[in-house]
Amino acid sequence: MAVPKRKHSNSRTGKRRSHNAIKPKQLTFCPKCSSALPTHVVCPTCGYYMGRTVIESDEAGS
């Protein structure tokens, strides 16, 4: 089985792991009801997406 000849330095290990950080979800605000939601998702509150109502809901009037 292959075994590394030399130890990788802490700097090299850190450079490799620099892109492994968890990034926060990118949120936008619904233009109709102003609730925060992820991008490219139908609004669960009012059913609004891409300039039109996709899902009819009971609270569409509020």
pLDDT in the model for residue 57: 66
Is the pLDDT at 43 greater than 60? The verdict is yes
Percent of the chain with pLDDT over 90: 56
Is the pLDDT at 59 greater than 70? The verdict is no
pTM of the model: 0.52
Mean predicted confidence (pLDDT) in 7-22: 96
Is the pLDDT at 61 greater than 60? The verdict is no
Is the pLDDT at 62 greater than 80? The verdict is no
Sequence spans of domains, the chain: 24-57
Which is nearest to 50 in space by CA: 33, 37, 31? Answer: 31
Phi and psi at residue 33, to the nearest 5°? -115, 0
